[in-house]
Structure 1
Amino acid sequence: MMAFWQPLTNLKDYVSQNPPGVTFFLCLLTLAITFICLSSYSYSHTVPNPDTTKDWNHLLSSLSQFQLCLKANTSLSDLVSQAPSRPIKRDTSVQHKKTPSVTTLRLKVPLAVTTNSNSGSLKDLSLYTALNASQLHLGGNETVNVTVEILSGNATYTCLTISAPAHLLPSLLPPECPVSEKKISPVHVEVSNQLPTASQPCYSLHSKYDPSLTVMLTQEERTVAVRHLLEVSVCLLGVCVILCLAACMTHSLLRRPHWNGLDLQNEPLIDS
């Protein structure tokens, strides 16, 4: 019995004779390469913070799932006439007010408003409603007051006035809404996530994703993430190298053919 160590031949034999081991090796190698590519991308690009579960894009997207409808058998002109004539007082020097429990913000957000009524006007219109925090995926059962005010000459942005507990609102704020010279009384509407009837005027909200409203990882956080990815990649590549060496060091044994100790070449076929 003779043994020869031939690395390339042994590796070739191992690959052909051990498909599960080869599959496991390829999975580890692919995962290591993926982590290296991900670390390279994270180092050179800004990456959203995965620990931030809510931002203004998510909040506006949740708000866009609802219809803001007038009450049944009530027209917009009736509600406007019933609205208080005294304009809403706004502090022009400070655009947001804070109390120990509730924060009120007036922000310019990428939110477009459309209506299903031909008679409904989108000019000089302010819609007010109250929602539950869970409806906006903010967590909790607190009440969130929302007022959507249409900006003159702007079809893609609106002024959003939102009042809610400070801990519910995302930290990265959109720009403040410009001060309006017109005092528009808000129209009270109901929130609905169902299709409205033909006779019921409703307003739909359409949010647009704004990358500037997404919380990104800081440079320090990206550096830590890249280092961890590279450490894991090096460990996986080390395991791949060990598997390759083990496959190359597997000896191929060359044995003479024998059949239960009998030499067929020396066995006479016919007894003499």
Structure 2
Amino acid sequence: MSCQFCGGLRLCVRHHPPLVTFWLCLLMLAATFLFYAFYIRAFPVNDADYTKDFDTVLQTLSASKLCPRWNATAAVPSLQSSEDVANASVLASVTLPSSVNHSALQIRATARQLGMTGLDTDSHLLLTVTCSWRSAQCNLSDAECSGKCCVIVTGPRSLLPHSWSSLQCYAANPSRQQPPEELYVMEGESDRPPQCYSLHYRGDPGLKAMMSQEDCAVSSGHLLAAMLVCLLVALLLFVVSACWVNPIKDKRTPAAL
């Protein structure tokens, strides 16, 4: 019986190489699903679908033009005065433009202009970027805090970006500093004032959106289920191949002698 089983496998390998290749691909796919299922349980995973995080906001700002208000008739976006307005802060590797004569900038933009997607993306947010800041968790001499600026976002609570970082900050003695320059995120090239700026942001993995433990558990379960399906199909093909005893005959007419 075992010889017949091995013989069937040899016949399948000899006469059906595409089927054998497909069987090997199923095994590799099952191994890949198993690897990713354990990986997302053991290590933090970035959530590419979540856009309300500081990394997305700062990446979008670094690719945008920040311009001052250039005429008196331009509409000035303002925050709605309500109890829902709050703020969130984070320390980030942001470099102010060298041509700016202020130690801080205030940037007004909509949530859509900051790269956020979803509902209420036309609501306005106020970003304050200052390199003179204070923090209860660290000081300027700490290696984790040195060389970073404080980014404070003020706006509706539902649109505030998350940082996944315990380092929060606030402006140091704002009343004694020079008033920050007010800038706006500009769209298009028409009617743009001559003096515009660009922020330089060095990406920080700690500011990216991370999948929650619940989402990781659900995704891991789906990957394990897909792995089991691949293994079951591979096992079925293995049994069928082992039981194969009638290879496809060559239907070509033999040449006349």
Q: TM-score, normalised by structure 2?
A: 0.69
TM-superposed deviation, 1:9:
2.8
Relative to structure 1, the CA distance from residue 221 to residue 14 in structure 2 (aligned partners, 3 Å threshold; closer, same or farther) is: same
- The Cα RMSD (Å) is 3.5
Q: Distance in 2 between matches of 1:176 and 1:34?
A: 39
What secondary structure, in the 3-state scheme, does the structure 1 residue paired with 2:169 have? coil
Alignment of 1:10-89 (within 5 A): 10-49=8-47, 52-70=50-68
Matched, 1:145 2:143: no
Aligned twin of 2:208: 214
| Aligned-partner residue type, residue 24 of structure 1 | F
TM-superposed deviation, 1:57:
0.8
Contact 1:113 1:155 in 2 (8 A): no
What secondary structure, in the 3-state scheme, does the structure 2 residue paired with 1:9 have? helix
Contact 2:11 2:244 in 1 (8 A): no
TM-superposed deviation, 1:190:
4.2
Relative to structure 1, the CA distance from residue 39 to residue 112 in structure 2 (aligned partners, 3 Å threshold; closer, same or farther) is: same
TM-superposed deviation, 1:246:
0.4
Relative to structure 1, the CA distance from residue 223 to residue 145 in structure 2 (aligned partners, 3 Å threshold; closer, same or farther) is: closer
Q: Distance in 2 between matches of 1:248 and 1:206?
A: 62
Segment of structure 1 superposing worse, 49-58 or 33-42? 49-58
Contact 2:68 2:195 in 1 (8 A): yes
Q: 1:134 aligns with which of 91, 107, 112?
A: 112
Q: Distance in 2 between matches of 1:218 and 1:194?
A: 37
Alignment of 1:190-201 (within 5 A): 190-192=184-186, 200-201=194-195
| Aligned-partner residue type, residue 59 of structure 1 | V
Q: Distance in 2 between matches of 1:208 and 1:7?
A: 61
Contact 2:66 2:185 in 1 (8 A): yes
TM-superposed deviation, 1:132:
2.2
Contact 1:111 1:208 in 2 (8 A): yes
Contact 1:5 1:249 in 2 (8 A): no
TM-superposed deviation, 1:14:
1.7
Aligned twin of 2:78: none
| Aligned-partner residue type, residue 8 of structure 1 | C
Relative to structure 1, the CA distance from residue 218 to residue 52 in structure 2 (aligned partners, 3 Å threshold; closer, same or farther) is: same
Relative to structure 1, the CA distance from residue 142 to residue 224 in structure 2 (aligned partners, 3 Å threshold; closer, same or farther) is: closer
Q: TM-score, normalised by structure 1?
A: 0.66
Q: Distance in 1 between matches of 2:44 and 2:37?
A: 12
Gaps of 5+ in 2: 71-80, 134-139
Q: Distance in 1 between matches of 2:87 and 2:32?
A: 45
Q: Distance in 2 between matches of 1:247 and 1:29?
A: 15
What secondary structure, in the 3-state scheme, does the structure 2 residue paired with 1:236 have? helix
Relative to structure 1, the CA distance from residue 40 to residue 173 in structure 2 (aligned partners, 3 Å threshold; closer, same or farther) is: closer
Segment of structure 1 superposing worse, 174-183 or 142-151? 174-183
Contact 1:71 1:200 in 2 (8 A): no
Relative to structure 1, the CA distance from residue 155 to residue 201 in structure 2 (aligned partners, 3 Å threshold; closer, same or farther) is: farther
Aligned twin of 1:189: 183
Contact 1:125 1:149 in 2 (8 A): yes
Q: State the structure with more CA Rg.
A: 1
Q: Distance in 2 between matches of 1:99 and 1:69?
A: 27
Identity rate of aligned residues, in percent? Answer: 28
Q: Distance in 2 between matches of 1:239 and 1:35?
A: 15
TM-superposed deviation, 1:104:
3.1
What secondary structure, in the 3-state scheme, does the structure 1 residue paired with 2:8 have? helix
What secondary structure, in the 3-state scheme, does the structure 1 residue paired with 2:219 have? helix
| Aligned-partner residue type, residue 27 of structure 1 | C
Matched, 1:233 2:227: yes
Aligned twin of 1:79: none
Task: Report the count of equivalent residues.
Answer: 220
